Amino acid sequence: MSRWRLVLVTCPGVGIRSVLVWLKRRWKCDNPGCGRATFTEVVPQVPAGVRLTERLREQAAALVGEVGASVSVAAGVCGLSWPRTHQGLHRAR
Ligand SMILES: [Zn+2]
């Protein structure tokens, strides 16, 4: 088992941009018949391959979808870039 550092952007606290550092565990599979040589931790709040928390993505999507804010305003409030905010809207369920 090894660990690697994943830095995630999460919801700003009192208007200050926040990051979350997760020391993610990576395991090696000893089964010779296994197609996956290694695998890492995954939690619902942080799907594989993303660099912001689901909570922050939901907050940005709610500002646009429920409050009626523009993508630019939501991006500013959440401390994200416009493209990242816009991309998160397409992942909304
Ligand atoms: Zn395996």
Q: How confident is the model at residue 92 (pLDDT cuts 50, 70, 90)?
A: low
46 Cα–ligand 1 center, Å: 22
**What is the predicted pLDDT for the residue at 27?**
92
Q: How confident is the model at residue 66 (pLDDT cuts 50, 70, 90)?
A: very high
34 Cα–ligand 1 center, Å: 4
18 Cα–ligand 1 center, Å: 35
How far, CA to CA in Å, does 64 sit from each of 24, 50, 55, 61, 83? 31, 20, 14, 5, 14
Q: Which residues pair with 9 in a beta bridge?
A: 19, 52
Total-model pTM: 0.73
41 Cα–ligand 1 center, Å: 14
